[in-house]
Amino acid sequence: MQKPELIIMYTWDINGYYDNKVCGHMYEAIDYYLILKNHFDTKIIFPSEYDLDKVLAKYNISSETRTELEKSIIQRPKSGIVKTTKGKGLVLVTDGNLGNFKGIIYGIPVQFSCGRLGLIPKDKKEWFLLHDNRLGHPEELFENYNVNPAKYIFDYNKKIYPNVNQDTQNNSNDPDDTFLFYLTENCKYQSPEEIKNILKRLNPISTIYIVCDYDFNITKLDYDTTKIEFIDIRKNPINLFSLPFTHYVYTPVKRQWDCSNRLIVECSIYGRNVLNFVDYNDIALEYRLIDISKGIGSKEIILNEHDEIITYLNFINKYKEK
C-alpha cells in the first residue's frame, strides 16, 4: 500500500530579504521526519543550505537513515511554490507562520501554532492546526481577525526526537561555573549590551560559550576579567552538547512567546542546568517546564512511533479524500 504524501517545511521570505538560519524549527523538521517517514512518503524543504555534518551531529542515527534523509531534502523553490502530487499531499509547517508566508502551497496545510499572529493563514481556504489548548483556544482569534478558521484544531504540543547522541560527555573542569548562551538572529537575538547586563547577575564564572548565527561584537561586552576568565564565541550550527557547559542561560524572546523551546528539553536529557533570565510571563515556556518536570521519558516531550500526530495526519489525509 502506497504511503500518503507529506512535505515538512518551515516558511521563508520568498523575496529574499532575510535568510532562515539554523533554528529550532529546522530541528523540528528533522525530528518529525525521523518519525513520520515510517508512515508517510516524507520530504523536507529547508529554506537554506546547511552543513548537514554539523546539523546532524546531535542525532544518533544510522548511516542508512542519514542517506535516506539527505535524499528526502528538497531544495527551496525560488518561486515560493510548494507542490504536492495533484495538490493533495499534506504539508506540515513547523514554524506556524503560514499566515505570513507569501508563497503558494498546492497541498493541504497543517501547521503547529507558533504564537498568536502566526495562527492565521489569511488566504488559505482549507488548513488544519496542531495547537496546545493549554495555551488558550485559538477559535477566538478566528473571530477577532475575521479569517477563515481551521477545519480542525487538534490538541497537540510539539515534541523532540528521543535518539539524541549521548556519546557527548560533559567534561568541564569547572562543573559549577561554565555557561552557554544560545543566540539566533530570528528569535533569540541579544546585543552585547543585553548579554553584559545578564553577566552582571551571574556569580563568578570561568568560561562563557556564546553560540550565535550573527556577528557578535565581543569587544562591546567590556566584561570583568576578574569574574570571567574566558569567553568563547562559536558560530552555529554546532553540536552544542560537545561544549563542556554545565548551565544553559535561557535568554528572552522578543515577542515573549517561545514556540520552539526544545533546547531546555535537550538540557534535561543531557543533565545540564537551565538558568532562566526572563522577566515576563511566557505561557508556552511555562508549560514546557511543567512537561519536563514529569520526566525525560514523558510522552508530553518525547516523540515515539505511536505519537498522536500520526493519527491526526492520517485523519486529515482521509478527510481530504472525501
**Domain contains 48:** yes
Residues 138 and 182 in one domain: no
Check residue 146 and give its pLDDT.
53
Q: Identify which of 201, 200, 199 has the alpha carbon closest to the alpha carbon of residue 210.
A: 199
Contact in structure between 273 and 175 (CB atoms under 8 Å): no
Residues 10 and 146 in one domain: yes
90-121 confidence digits (pLDDT tens): 999 998 877 778 888 889 999 998 765 555 55
Q: Does the pLDDT of residue 78 top 80, yes or no?
A: no
Assign 124 a pLDDT band (cuts: 50, 70, 90): low
* Phi and psi at residue 231, to the nearest 5°: -120, 125
557578535: which residue's cell? 216
Q: Calculate mean pLDDT across residues 175-195.
A: 85
Highest mean pLDDT among 62-71, 141-150, 160-169: 62-71
Compare 284 and 7 and report the one with higher pLDDT. Answer: 7
d(CA 76, CA 19): 12
Torsion angle in degrees (nearest 10) through CA of 303, 45, 184, 174: 50
Residue 63, C-beta contacts closer than 8 angstroms, at least 6 positions apart: none
Residues 52 and 74 in one domain: yes
Q: 292-302 burial by CB neighbour count: b if 16+ within 10 A, else e? A: beeeeeeebbb
Residues 123 and 226 in one domain: no
504539508: which residue's cell? 91
Residues 79 and 53 in one domain: yes
Residues 82 and 118 in one domain: yes
What value does the mean pLDDT of the chain take?
83
**Domain contains 109:** yes
Check residue 49 and give its pLDDT.
78
Q: Does the pLDDT of residue 38 top 90, yes or no?
A: yes
**Domain contains 138:** yes
221-241 confidence digits (pLDDT tens): 877 777 788 889 998 888 888
Residues 76 and 210 in one domain: no
Residues 218 and 99 in one domain: no
Check residue 16 and give its pLDDT.
65
**Domain contains 264:** yes
Long-range contacts of 201-207 (CB under 8 A, 24+ apart): 201/277, 202/249, 202/275, 203/177, 204/177, 204/228, 205/174, 205/177, 205/178, 205/179, 205/229, 206/174, 206/177, 206/178, 206/230, 207/172, 207/174, 207/177, 207/178, 207/179, 207/231, 207/232, 207/245
Residues 135 and 186 in one domain: no
Residues 9 and 157 in one domain: yes
Assign 123 a pLDDT band (cuts: 50, 70, 90): low
**Domain contains 166:** no
Q: Does the pLDDT of residue 133 top 70, yes or no?
A: yes
Cell reading at 309: 500526530
Check residue 85 and give its pLDDT.
85
**Domain contains 223:** yes
Contact in structure between 100 and 186 (CB atoms under 8 Å): no
Please tell me the total count of domains within the chain.
Answer: 2
d(CA 12, CA 177): 38
Residues 23 and 125 in one domain: yes
9-35 confidence digits (pLDDT tens): 988 877 765 566 778 888 999 999 999
207 - beta bridge partners?
178, 230
Residues 44 and 154 in one domain: yes
Q: Calculate mean pLDDT across residues 48-53.
A: 82
- Collapsed DSSP state (helix, strand, coil) of residue 319: helix
Cell reading at 227: 569574574
pTM metric for this prediction: 0.87
**Domain contains 311:** yes
d(CA 284, CA 158): 11
Assign 172 a pLDDT band (cuts: 50, 70, 90): very low
238-270 confidence digits (pLDDT tens): 888 889 899 999 998 887 888 778 899 989 888
Parent domain of 194? 178-293
Assign 169 a pLDDT band (cuts: 50, 70, 90): very low
Q: Which of 94-98, 286-290, 303-307 has the lowest mean pLDDT?
A: 94-98
**Domain contains 172:** no
Q: Does the CA dihedral 309-270-176-290 come out positive or negative?
A: positive
